[in-house]
Amino acid sequence: MKQKSIRSVIWLATIALIAVVIMQFFWINKSINTQKETIDIQKKNIDIEHQQFENRVYIALTTVRDKLISLNDEAAGFYLDPVKQITKNYFVVSFYDTLSHELLENFLISEFQQRHILEAFEYGIYDCFSDSIIYDKYVGLSETSRQSDKISATQQKWDHDGHYFGVYFPDREELAPSEASKISYSLIITSVIIILIVAIFTFAISIILRQKKLSEIRNDFINNMTHELKTPISTISISAEVLLRKDTFENSERIQQYAKIIRAENNRLEAQVEKVLQLAKLEKEQIQLNRSIINLHTIVKEVSETFEITIKEREGQLSLDLSASQQEIDADPIHITNVIASLFDNANKYSPDNPVITVWSRNDLNAIQLMIKDNGKGIPANDLKNVFEKFYRVPTGDVHDVKGFGLGLFYVRSILKAHTGTITVESKPMEGSTFTITLPLIQNS
């Protein structure tokens, strides 16, 4: 699939998924607002029901008192506020004289039933002469309730200097609206499904982008491999044609010269194939390490002697500052030599004319660190995290001034990892790069 098509599919899928998420958020928000409105309505209904109940009780108790007054010839206006509500479910009624509890009970039951107040109640009579509640009783008005002389709650005394009786509704609890809840199961299920879809979509996109990146790396590798193989093959082909000409047989020096060219190019091809084979071994983790005690400084000096000639030909400078006091490591000398040679080669290849390469070492706890710094073109910040990946090469557009397959640093990291070592890089474009390798030292017993 073309890059433009992949980008279009990703954008369309992302827009569709965002729309689904927004719609889901809208429905969840709407569900929450609906629940809030329902709770507000419930609160209002509860307040209305409380108010209606209190009004019916107030009227009933006022009627009972009026009946008692008519029987006792008490002045109806003696108390300006004869019925008072103490709590949500406790009312008191002032009365001038003593009264019969049987008569009071009959009046209360009659008035409550007439006004559809069918809740159980307790009533108590207070005597101002003895300053105590002289009688109290529980009365159940529903068919399932029964009357009892035992009350469920002690009658409260009222700060009042006359006679009064109190009515308490023990079963009347404070009503509360239902809790805000709980988003419906359908919304929960769809939300979970959408989350799963988002996760799967993200995972799929990451795979697509990874595959796209691998495809680009593979194409770059094929192009680089073709370019690297084409030159020696062409050289061998031309040399073979020259050797096949009849006039060449008469010139032994010329035959020897072209034979050397064929051998050199053949060795070059062999080296390229060996790199690919080494890559296969690295992928299968089949690296065989022939460890021995080696001096890292010695290997660095040997490798530097090899590259010093090439660097001087470019009018460059290679300086060593190997100041680490401990240099012995337990490692494979061939692979460690290849690692250092690969880093030297990169420092030389990616540096301009007159390269300046500095190498120094130091000890860090139980390890030795080797730093290789160059004044090359540097590595952009976005590419630093990928330089150790297989086949990865820093993009240079259509410019192919540096040969390679993108295997060098991958090989370096793999070998160091096999030796329990690490490699890091610091770089800025046009300011050069510094590679730091760390290897564990041999511990003296």
Sign of CA dihedral 329, 349, 301, 431: negative
Domain of 121, in residue numbers: 1-183
Q: What is the pLDDT of residues 388-409, one digit of tens each?
A: 887 777 765 544 455 556 677 8
Could you tell me if 275 and 320 lie in one domain? Answer: no
Does 195 reside within a domain?
no
Is 445 inside a domain boundary? no
Q: Does residue 240 share a domain with residue 165?
A: no
Average pLDDT, the chain: 79
Cα dihedral 276, 281, 282, 287 sign: negative
Q: Looking at beta carbons, which pairs linking 53-61 to residues 24 or more positions away fall under 8 Å?
A: 53/117, 53/172, 54/85, 56/115, 56/116, 56/117, 57/91, 57/117, 57/167, 57/169, 58/83, 58/85, 58/91, 59/115, 60/108, 60/111, 60/112, 60/114, 60/115, 60/117, 61/91, 61/93, 61/111, 61/167
315 and 376 co-located in one domain: yes
Under DSSP, is residue 329 helix (H, G, I), strand (E, B) or coil? strand
Residue 257's pLDDT is 80
**Torsion-angle region of residue 123: left (phi > 0), alpha (psi -120 to 50) or beta?**
beta
Position with higher pLDDT, 92 vs 8: 92
CB atoms within 10 A of CB 313: 8
Q: Which amino acid is at 162?
A: G
Cβ–Cβ under 8 Å, residues 415 and 287: yes
| Residue that finishes a domain, picked among 259, 283, 307 | 283
When divided into structural domains, the chain yields a total of: 3
Q: Is the pLDDT of residue 360 over 90?
A: yes
* Contact partners, residue 53, CB within 8 Å, separation at least 6: 117, 172
Instruction: Read off the pLDDT of residues 39-62 as tens digits, 9 standing for 90 and up.
Output: 888 888 888 888 888 899 999 998
Q: How large a percentage of the chain has pLDDT more than 90?
A: 13
Residue with the bigger pLDDT between 27 and 142: it is: 27
Residues 163 and 27 in one domain: yes
Are the CB atoms for 118 and 142 separated by under 8 Å?
A: yes
Please state, in angstroms and rounded to a whole number, the distance separating the CA atoms of residues 359 and 311.
Answer: 14
145 and 17 in a single domain? The answer is yes
Please indicate, yes or no, if residue 35 is contained in any of the structural domains.
yes
DSSP 395: -
Please count the residues of the chain.
445
Do 17 and 52 have their domain in common?
Answer: yes
| pLDDT for res 228 | 66
Boundary (domain end) residue, out of 226, 259, 283: 283
Burial 203-217 (b: 16+ CB within 10 A, else e): eeeeeeeeeeeeeeb
312 within some domain:
yes
DSSP classification of residue 204 = H
Strands (E), 211-307: 292-295
**pTM for the structure as a whole:** 0.48
Domain membership flag for residue 204 = no
CA–CA distance, 19 with 349 (Å, rounded to integer)? 51
Residues 277 and 347 in one domain: no
Question: Which of residues 143, 168, 183 is at a domain's end?
Answer: 183
258 found inside a domain: yes
300 with 263, same domain: the answer is no
Q: Does 37 share its domain with 174?
A: yes
Asked if residue 201 belongs to a domain, the reply is no
| Gap between the Cα atoms of 111 and 30, Å rounded | 47
Measured distance CA(117)–CA(88) in Å, rounded: 15
Q: Is 150 helix (H, G, I), strand (E, B) or coil?
A: coil
197-248 pLDDT tens trace: 888 878 888 887 777 777 776 776 676 667 667 767 877 888 788 777 777 6
**CATH code of residue 231:** 1.10.287.130
Residue 111 shares a structural domain with residue 258: no
Residues 230 and 126 reside in one and the same domain = no
Q: Is residue 191 part of a domain?
A: no
CA distance 407 to 276: 9
CATH of the domain at 419: 3.30.565.10
371 and 257 in a common domain: no
